[in-house]
């Protein structure tokens, strides 16, 4: 490979922040919505979006280099599968997720990544003067944006988890740190014999998605509390979906031990998280891992990391179930006082994810 080629590749990587900005621009202008009825030229799209045709074409041409939109020989732009998910009117739309992830708060946090690496600790706190979750509590607009974005991200993951892991037909699911209850609602809708308990802080529960849903009426309850201190008893399945990655190991141990104390001997724990592959294999979780370090001092983990963490909290990791989405489902059971941990079973992978 010659030097000019290397230079070009490095230049494109160095300008990666522009791709994020271009993606945000297309999302904010709702270009995908305007292409739902068929391809349009940049001039037609500019008229519909109140933008400059020449500049809009350049942005869309750039996005098309990574399969977001496609320009034909006549100069019209088409939807691609990736661009389709930017529409606001499709199931599991990622529009809100893209707008959230490209928001100024996250862009400024990423710009401070060097300080995270040099000094340790999230650059978000140094940039905004307080922790991410404290900042969210005091900024209603960002809180609304964050909730909408997380709901957007949750849709495909919840469907993949519910359709992959063999949930029982009956029993009680305790969704620990379950936020607005998106996953719990998906599980209850698919299994009429299940009941559920949504456990989180009061502000999250107050905006839950289960209230008013006739399909789950009478089969769920909610309880507010602090999962670092105590978790409700009586569940058959305890679920931690995208909770542990928000925290360093010592905080995760407190959450897991609170779950362990609440669980009956025959209960199971399900951890829904990315499981990072070893080596240089690409995985969405590796980008998220860096983001978690910068935003909340959290991290994504490998299978070995999870095995050690769960064992220290009194669990045996029994199996890892990959899903069609990027997270996996890690199943663990409480270790009897005299028991010893065993090696987890691995199920066949899906979609190349760990």
Question: Would you name the residues annotated as active-site residues?
Answer: 245
- The two beta strands, 328-334 and 268-273, are antiparallel
Radius of gyration of the chain (CA): 22
For residues 226 and 331, give the distance between their C-alpha atoms in angstroms, rounded to a whole number.
23
β-pair partners for 71:
77
Tell me how far CA of residue 265 lies from CA of 259, 268, 323, in angstroms: 12, 8, 27
Look at the alpha carbons of 247, 252, 256, 258 in this order and tell me if their dihedral is positive or negative. Answer: negative
Chain centroid offset of residue 194 CA? 25
Find how far residue 260's CA is from the centre of its chain. Answer: 24
Q: How far apart are CA 94 and CA 84, in angstroms?
A: 9
Cα separation, 241 vs 238, whole angstroms: 10
Structure tokens at 57: 């074409």
HSE, CB side, 13 Å, CA atoms: give it for residue 93.
Answer: 15
Q: Which residues, 6+ apart, have CB-to-CB distance to 172 below 8 Å? A: 194, 195, 196, 197, 234, 235, 236, 237
Per DSSP, the three-state class of 125 is: helix
At what angle are helices 104-111 and 284-295 packed, to 10 degrees?
90
């Amino acid at each position: 490979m010659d030097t000019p080629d290397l230079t070009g590749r490095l230049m494109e990587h160095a300008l990666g922040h522009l791709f994020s900005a271009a993606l945000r621009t297309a999302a904010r202008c709702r270009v995908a919505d305007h292409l739902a009825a068929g391809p349009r030229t940049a001039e037609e799209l500019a008229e519909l979006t109140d933008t400059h045709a020449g500049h809009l074409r350049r942005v869309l041409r750039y996005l098309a280099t990574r399969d977001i939109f496609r320009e034909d020989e006549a100069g019209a732009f088409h939807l691609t599968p990736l661009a389709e998910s930017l529409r606001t009117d499709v199931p599991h739309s990622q529009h809100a997720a893209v707008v959230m992830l490209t928001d100024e708060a996250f862009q400024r946090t990423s710009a401070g990544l060097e300080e995270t690496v040099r000094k340790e600790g999230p650059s978000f706190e140094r940039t905004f003067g307080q922790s991410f979750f404290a900042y969210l509590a005091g900024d209603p607009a960002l809180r609304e944006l964050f909730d909408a974005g997380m709901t957007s991200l949750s849709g495909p993951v919840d469907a993949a988890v519910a359709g992959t892991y063999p949930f029982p037909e009956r029993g009680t699911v305790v969704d620990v740190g379950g936020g607005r209850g998106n996953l719990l609602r998906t599980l209850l809708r698919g299994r009429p014999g299940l009941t559920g308990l949504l456990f989180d802080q009061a502000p999250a529960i107050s905006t839950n998605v289960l209230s008013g849903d006739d399909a789950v009426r009478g089969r769920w309850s909610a309880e507010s509390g602090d999962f670092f201190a105590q978790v409700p008893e009586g569940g058959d399945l305890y679920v931690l979906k995208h909770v542990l990655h928000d925290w360093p190991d010592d905080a995760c141990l407190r959450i897991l031990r609170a779950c362990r104390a609440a669980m009956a001997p025959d209960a199971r724990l399900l951890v829904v998280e990315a499981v990072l592959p070893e080596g240089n294999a690409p995985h969405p979780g590796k980008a998220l891992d860096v983001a978690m370090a910068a935003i909340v001092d959290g991290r994504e983990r490998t299978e070995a990391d999870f095995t050690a963490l769960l064992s220290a909290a009194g669990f045996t990791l029994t199996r890892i179930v990959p899903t069609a989405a990027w997270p996996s489902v890690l199943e663990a059971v409480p270790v009897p006082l005299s028991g010893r941990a065993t090696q987890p079973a691995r199920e066949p992978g899906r979609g190349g994810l760990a």
